[in-house]
Amino acid sequence: MPYLLIFFPLLGSILGYSVKFLGDRYSEIITTTLVVISAILSCIIFYNGVVHDLYGNYKILDWISSGNLKVNWSINIDPLSSIMLVVVTSISSLVHIYSIGYMSHDPNKPRFMSYLSLFTFSMLMLVVSDNFLQLFFGWEGVGLCSYLLIGFWYKKESANNAAIKAFLVNRVGDFGLAIGIFLIFYYFGTVNYSEVFIKAAASIDKEISFLGFNTNLITIICLSLFIGAMGKSAQFLFHTWLPDAMEGPTPVSALIHAATMVTAGVFLVVRCSPLFEYSEVALNFVAIIGMITAVFAASVAIVQNDIKKIIAYSTCSQLGYMFFAAGVGAYHVAIFHLFTHAFFKALLFLGSGSVIHAFKDEQDIRLMGGVWKKLPYTWILMLIGTLALTGFPFLSGFYSKDAIIEFAYFKGTSIGYYAMAVGIFTAFLTAIYSWRLFFITFHGNYNNKNIAIEKTHESPLIMLLPLIILALGAVFAGYLFKDMLIGYNYLDFWKNSIFFVKKIEHLHLPLWLLLVTPVLVVAAVPITYYLYIKDTSILSGLKKFNEPLHNFLLNKWYFDELYEFLFIKPLKVIGYILWKKGDQNIIDRYGPDGFSKVIKFFSNKAVKFQSGFIYDYAFVMLLGLSFLLTYLIIN
């Protein structure tokens, strides 16, 4: 069964593309059916795991063996991977269904469906791996699919550039991950998780010299791995690719850039909890990066005007939550938030896709507004998504986000308290930008001059159906699974797939902490409505007053410009100089060209000797004779 689960999407991808001559409909049906079957299988596996404790490791094939390096292709089913399987395949199948409607006007549907299935396969390989190299395979595989899908509309220059940017930023992150893997192999002689974790536990205090610095082995491994995670999950400094990635079709954003691929970084940290648990430094670093990202991305999201970019920054910020949850040692809560987030963020993205569809590919929210009566279903579904994202009481986001804040408090260290404060503050920011998006898009005045309001239309059923299922998830997933995943006996579910040095105690929470987030979140609704719809004069006054700050946020803290200045331009210049000056002006000039010049020079001289006149030759002979005589005489 696990084999079918993994290989159905790959089969779908290949078949979906090769049957395109039969017609688009066939490839849509084949890819979607196979992924849906995968989703059903993964639910069965999840159920079997929870109820019957059926976990295991299934080997597919040898991959690389060289000396003591032995790597297999394998499928490792444990609680952590089984819940990821459910998330990946279920969101993926919903996105497949949605795409049939969303891409209906696109001439390249088979290619699109095939890429989506290929992505699903890579993500599954990543999740079920039992070793670091297969993880790396999946890791780069999802990066490749992300590249292909962002650049899906290859005629758009901006899409191609965004695709390359995504790939390269991820490559920089992967460089860190690769270094981490090298370190692991060098010191532990294996890349299999179980063996690595056993050996790591035995070398907690090992100090190594890394590029002249003496550091703790586990710490440096964790930090390297985490750089990979930062790239994939678009954390602070590596975040620049994610907003640009919105150039891809919206279903892609929902699947890859919200629900699954970008959470791979969180998955990696949780998967390596047996390493991270032994390094306080690395954990703190994870927490700090998570906190910075959460606040930073939320602050940028408040002023953006592109509907997808707002949600992209929101994703960035929510990933930050997951990381600082992991950073304070609450790995299971991080995964719980990953789980609930997948539903409501996919819902928001697909919902915004529905809005974009209604406005005929318009993405600027300033050119929308007042259409909530025209798009009633989309409106309601987006409302649910927004409520869930902001953590409105009793929806899924509420349980997971509050749990993060609570566990940060339980941690009891200063990092924990900071994380708690950042969590509360970001929750408030989240509420503001989410409601701003919602109100400006659906309420207020209709602002689009190109399309008459009558022309906007509700999406077809095939697009609404997945949204409804996701909405159900966004409402109930938190409530239904909270006891199992983060309840008092969470270890009954997680078993040894997540490692805790010491079990986190559930303490008694002060009342104010229980109340502060929900109160802020609920209060944000009328505040935002008033500021953005009722009376915009206050805001525009504030904007005028704080022009530089507004620009700073609008331009995303100028990161793109900084990177262009720091890396891209200098590299190009250096490349050019090395080629023109290094290769042509130095090596060639003094190498072969110089050599041939010297020879030419001497042969030109030598040619002059061959004048054909006897007295010239006689003179040279005489000269030679006299030198010879002199030499003999002196000796």
Partner 1 sequence: MNFPILSSITLLPILGAIFILIFNNKTNENKNVIYVSLFTSVMTLFLAIFLWYVFDKSSSEFQFVEEKNWISGYIKFKFGIDGISILFIVLTAFITPICVISCINSVKNRLKEFLIAILFLESFMIGVFCSLDLVVFYLFFEAGLIPMFLIIGIWGGPKRVYAAFKFFLFTLLGSVLMLVAIISIYWITGTTDLTEIFVIKIPVEYQYVLWLAFFSSFAVKMPMWPVHTWLPDAHVEAPTAGSVILAAILLKMAGYGFLRFSIGMFPVASEYFVPLIFTLSVIAIIYTSLVALMQEDMKKLIAYSSVAHMGFVTLGIFTFTKQGIEGSIFQMLSHGLISAALFLCVGVVYDRVHSRLIGSYGGLVNILPKYSLVFAVFMLGAIGLPGTSGFVGEILVLLGVFQKNFLVAILASIGVILGAAYMLWLYKRVILGRLEKKELTELKDLNLSEGLMLFLLAGLTLFLGFYPNLILDTIHVSVDKLINDYQMNLILNTVK
Residue 595 near partner 1 by CB under 8 A: yes
Q: Smallest gap, in angstroms, from Cβ of residue 61 to partner 1? A: 7
Residue linked to tokens 């002249």: 212
Contacts of 552 (CB under 8 A, 6+ apart): 558
Whichever of 172 and 201 has its CB closer to partner 1, that residue is 172
Cα–Cα dist 218/223, whole Å: 9
Q: Smallest gap, in angstroms, from Cβ of residue 209 to partner 1? A: 9
Cα–Cα dist 354/470, whole Å: 14
Q: Smallest gap, in angstroms, from Cβ of residue 102 to partner 1? A: 22
Q: Smallest gap, in angstroms, from Cβ of residue 178 to partner 1? A: 6
- Considering only residues 67 to 86 of the shown chain, the ones binding partner 1 according to CB under 8 A are 67-69, 73
Roughly how many angstroms between the first and final C-alpha of the chain, as a whole number? Answer: 96
Residue 157 near partner 1 by CB under 8 A: yes
Whichever of 143 and 265 has its CB closer to partner 1, that residue is 143
Residue 71: helix, strand or coil by DSSP? strand
Q: Smallest gap, in angstroms, from Cβ of residue 231 to partner 1? A: 11
Strands 56-66 and 69-77: antiparallel
Among 8, 102, 115, 136, binds partner 1 (CB under 8 A): 136
- Considering only residues 201 to 260 of the shown chain, the ones binding partner 1 according to CB under 8 A are 210-211
Residue 380 near partner 1 by CB under 8 A: no
Residue 61 near partner 1 by CB under 8 A: yes
Whichever of 174 and 406 has its CB closer to partner 1, that residue is 174
Among 26, 58, 63, 559, binds partner 1 (CB under 8 A): 63
Among 25, 59, 171, 455, binds partner 1 (CB under 8 A): 171
Give the DSSP H/E element, type plus range, for residue 72. Answer: strand 69-77
Residue 566 near partner 1 by CB under 8 A: no
Whichever of 16 and 351 has its CB closer to partner 1, that residue is 16
Burial (CB count within 10 angstroms: exposed 0-12, middle 13-18, buried 19+), residue 201: middle
Among 4, 22, 44, 64, binds partner 1 (CB under 8 A): 64
Which of these, 300, 153, 289, 161, lies nearest to 231 by C-alpha position?
289
Residue 210: helix, strand or coil by DSSP? strand
- Considering only residues 438 to 467 of the shown chain, the ones binding partner 1 according to CB under 8 A are none
On whether the CB atoms of residues 177 and 139 are closer than 8 A, the answer is yes
Considering only the stretches 35-43, 429-437, 505-513, 566-574, report the one whose residues sit in contact with partner 1 under the rule CB under 8 A: 566-574
Contacts of 45 (CB under 8 A, 6+ apart): 1, 2, 5, 54, 77, 82, 85
The total number of residues shown for the chain amounts to 635
Q: In whole angstroms, what separates CA 615 from the centre of its chain?
A: 85
Residue 576 near partner 1 by CB under 8 A: yes
Cα–Cα dist 84/77, whole Å: 10
Residue 282: helix, strand or coil by DSSP? helix
Whichever of 128 and 300 has its CB closer to partner 1, that residue is 128
Among 461, 574, 621, 629, binds partner 1 (CB under 8 A): 574
Whichever of 154 and 565 has its CB closer to partner 1, that residue is 154
Residue 66 near partner 1 by CB under 8 A: yes
Residue 104: helix, strand or coil by DSSP? coil
Cα–Cα dist 190/184, whole Å: 7
Q: Smallest gap, in angstroms, from Cβ of residue 153 to partner 1? A: 10
Q: In whole angstroms, what separates CA 426 from the centre of its chain?
A: 20
Whichever of 144 and 513 has its CB closer to partner 1, that residue is 144
Whichever of 141 and 265 has its CB closer to partner 1, that residue is 141
Joined together, the tokens standing for residue 363 give 């993405």
Q: Smallest gap, in angstroms, from Cβ of residue 610 to partner 1? A: 24
Q: How many residues bind partner 1 (CB under 8 A)?
A: 53
Residue 140 near partner 1 by CB under 8 A: yes
Cα–Cα dist 29/453, whole Å: 34
Whichever of 117 and 400 has its CB closer to partner 1, that residue is 117
- Considering only residues 96 to 135 of the shown chain, the ones binding partner 1 according to CB under 8 A are 133
Q: Smallest gap, in angstroms, from Cβ of residue 136 to partner 1? A: 6
Contacts 24+ apart (CB under 8 A), 528-534: 528/431, 528/432, 528/435, 528/436, 528/439, 529/435, 529/439, 529/443, 532/435, 532/436, 532/439, 532/440, 532/444, 533/439, 533/440, 533/443, 533/444
Residue 602 near partner 1 by CB under 8 A: no
Cα–Cα dist 346/387, whole Å: 14
Among 113, 145, 178, 427, binds partner 1 (CB under 8 A): 178
Burial (CB count within 10 angstroms: exposed 0-12, middle 13-18, buried 19+), residue 569: exposed
Strands 213-216 and 207-210: antiparallel
Among 185, 377, 552, 563, binds partner 1 (CB under 8 A): 185
Residue 585 near partner 1 by CB under 8 A: no
Q: Smallest gap, in angstroms, from Cβ of residue 10 to partner 1? A: 11
Residue 418 near partner 1 by CB under 8 A: no
Q: Smallest gap, in angstroms, from Cβ of residue 123 to partner 1? A: 14
On whether the CB atoms of residues 399 and 485 are closer than 8 A, the answer is no
Among 2, 9, 151, 353, binds partner 1 (CB under 8 A): 151
Strands 213-216 and 56-66: unpaired
Cα–Cα dist 316/262, whole Å: 9
Cα–Cα dist 573/578, whole Å: 9
Q: Smallest gap, in angstroms, from Cβ of residue 34 to partner 1? A: 20
Q: Smallest gap, in angstroms, from Cβ of residue 5 to partner 1? A: 19
Residue 563 near partner 1 by CB under 8 A: no
Among 10, 40, 144, 367, binds partner 1 (CB under 8 A): 144
Residue 137 near partner 1 by CB under 8 A: yes
> Which residue type is seen at 512?
W
Cα–Cα dist 93/90, whole Å: 5
On whether the CB atoms of residues 183 and 220 are closer than 8 A, the answer is yes
Joined together, the tokens standing for residue 365 give 């929210």
Joined together, the tokens standing for residue 34 give 């196979």
Residue 182 near partner 1 by CB under 8 A: yes
Contacts of 380 (CB under 8 A, 6+ apart): none
Whichever of 17 and 267 has its CB closer to partner 1, that residue is 17
Residue 22 near partner 1 by CB under 8 A: no
What does 115-146 look like in DSSP terms, one character per residue?
A: HHHHHHHHHHHHHH-SBHHHHHHHHHHHHHHH
Among 3, 47, 186, 617, binds partner 1 (CB under 8 A): 186
Give me the residues that bind partner 1 (CB under 8 A), please.
61-69, 73, 133, 136-137, 140-141, 144, 147, 151, 154-155, 157, 160-161, 164, 167-168, 171-172, 175, 178-179, 182-183, 185-186, 210-211, 571-572, 574-576, 578-579, 582-584, 587-588, 591-592, 595-596
